[in-house]
Amino acid sequence: MEKKRKEGMFKKILPKLGLFFDIERMKKIVDFSYIVIEKFSMIFPMIAKDYVTFYEELVEREIKLAGVTKDDKILNIGSGPVPATSLLLSKKVGADITCIDIDKNAVRHAKNFLKKQGVDQIKVEYGDGTKYDVSEFDVIFISWGVNTLFQILRNVSNKMKNDARVVIRLPKSERFQKELEKKLGKTLKIEKTIPQPSYSNSKSILLVKVKT
């Protein structure tokens, strides 16, 4: 019998954002709400635990989507002060993971957070996703909250290995996906899209390099 997942506070609260905001058009407001939650998570361990639980099923689906294994070298761009995706990837796959964030405070807090979790195999460093050299990585996760998604994707598409995979989370509706296809369709191809649980108001997309 499949183990029942914990509901958690955020699985109850965050879906309600979709009742008050158009998640796609008001993405900046939604992103800000996640930043506030992450700041509280740094102070209160129980909130951090619940916040990580919120992402568990999303990450499990993305592991299957991208076929992630322990032999992959993984980069998480925009991992934030509570690198939930990287922490879950490490626990579920055991791969070599590097987190980067353009916010130096977020990097410092992420290091402290992982230390408190007893995790020392995840590398956390300052880095700008629009310039970072991604050429050594097999799978690249780009967080929902990055402010320069298309610039990051352009940099990634120029520097990634030919067989690397890119995973991004987007709002469920189509506007960002259509914009992605319009701006980067010549260099990145949407290999597969999967819906995420309804409480997340999101979907995940697997991108691969267009073969020339």
Q: What is the pLDDT of residue 37?
A: 57
Is residue 156 helix, strand or coil?
helix
Q: What is the CA radius of gyration of the chain?
A: 16
Is the Cβ–Cβ distance between 80 and 106 less than 8 Å?
A: yes
- Which two tokens mark 66? 């991208």
The structural domains of the chain, with segments of one domain joined by +, span: 9-209
Q: Which CATH class is domain 9-209?
A: alpha beta
Token pair of 145 as six digits:
């909250």
- pLDDT tens digits for range 199-209: 787 899 999 99
Quickly list H helices, the chain: 9-13, 17-20, 27-43, 45-66, 84-93, 104-116, 149-159, 175-184
* Stretch (H or E) spanning 76: strand 73-77
The pLDDT score that the predictor gives to residue 33 is: 55
* Dist. CA 88–CA 198, nearest whole Å: 20
Per-residue confidence (pLDDT) for residue 2, from 0 to 100: 45
Low-confidence ranges of the chain (pLDDT < 50): 1-2, 16-24, 26, 29
The one-letter amino acid at 190 = I
Whole-angstrom distance, CA of residue 83 vs CA of residue 199: 20
